[in-house]
Amino acid sequence: MKPPIVFDLDGTLIDSLPNVTQAMNALLAEEGLPPVTEDLVVNFVGRGEKIGLQRLIDATDLDPHDFDRLMAAFIPHYEQAALQTRLYPGAREAVDRLLADGFKLALCTNKPRAPLIPTLEAATLDDVFEVVMAGDDLDLRKPDPAPVFEIMKRVGAETCVYVGDSEVDAETAQRAGAPFVFYTEGIRAVPVHDIPHDVAFNDFGMLPAICARLAGV
């Protein structure tokens, strides 16, 4: 059996930084505060909406005592921004090729399920994954490997190939004992050379051959 290919979502298959920034700025506007830039928001993403919002609070004049109220206000903006999701160039073709080559595909994201559903629909990815693990499906999130282990359990696999774009994904793959395929054009807060990986790529046309090689097929 071929190992499943487990994808991260934000910054790996989709360019979501503009959407997250838009949602955060909509929240800030409601609170009467100035907007933030993508260069700042890149430091907020990757570990789920709770940590993302906490980092936004820490970087602005949002009141930390209002966390629960702010989260309730943020999620609808997050869902709305998701409707504008766009795939990275070549991502859909790579996904289709992997499916045609007989690989099972899975998704492991820290994005909560509420905004994840419209995101996958907007990106036309809602019908390609055998298993989808959202950030709020388990008590533990990436970089804890629990969601990856759950994916492997559900597809009956002992290992996988993990495709991601950030230091969070690199740690997740390492802790899951999976080879890490690193998309270097995604969303990350540290330099490429500081992120450990087995194979790096910057063009999705390269991905099917990389996965086949790592899978030993």
Domain chopping of the chain, boundaries? 5-15+86-215, 17-82
Class at the top of the CATH hierarchy for domain 5-15+86-215 = alpha beta
Q: Respond yes or no on whether the N-terminal peptide bond of residue 208 is cis (omega within 30° of 0).
A: no
Q: What is the pLDDT of residue 20?
A: 86
Render each residue's pLDDT in the chain as its tens digit; 217 residues: 799 999 999 989 998 888 889 999 999 999 999 999 988 988 887 677 788 899 999 999 999 999 999 999 998 998 888 788 889 999 999 999 999 999 999 999 998 898 898 889 989 999 999 999 999 999 999 999 999 999 999 999 999 999 999 999 999 999 999 999 999 998 887 888 999 999 999 999 999 999 999 988 6
**Cα maximum dimension of the chain:** 56
Secondary structure (DSSP) of 19-65: HHHHHHHHHHHHTT-----HHHHTTT-SS-HHHHHHHHHHHSS--GG
Q: Among residues 62, 69, 31, which one has the least CA distance to residue 44? A: 62
pLDDT at 194: 93
Q: CATH homologous superfamily for 17-82?
A: Putative phosphatase; domain 2 (1.10.150.240)
Q: How many CB atoms neighbour CB 181 within 10 A?
A: 26
pLDDT of residue 46: 66
**Residue (of 76, 81, 184, 155) closest to 123 by Cα position:** 81
Does residue 201 contact residue 184 with C-beta atoms inside 8 Å?
Answer: yes
The pLDDT of residue 149: 98
Query: 5-15+86-215 and 17-82 share one CATH topology?
Result: no
Q: What is the pTM of this model?
A: 0.85
- Residue 21 · residue 37 · CB < 8 Å: yes
- What are the catalytic residues? 8
Burial of 67 (0-12, 13-18, 19+ CB in 10 A): middle
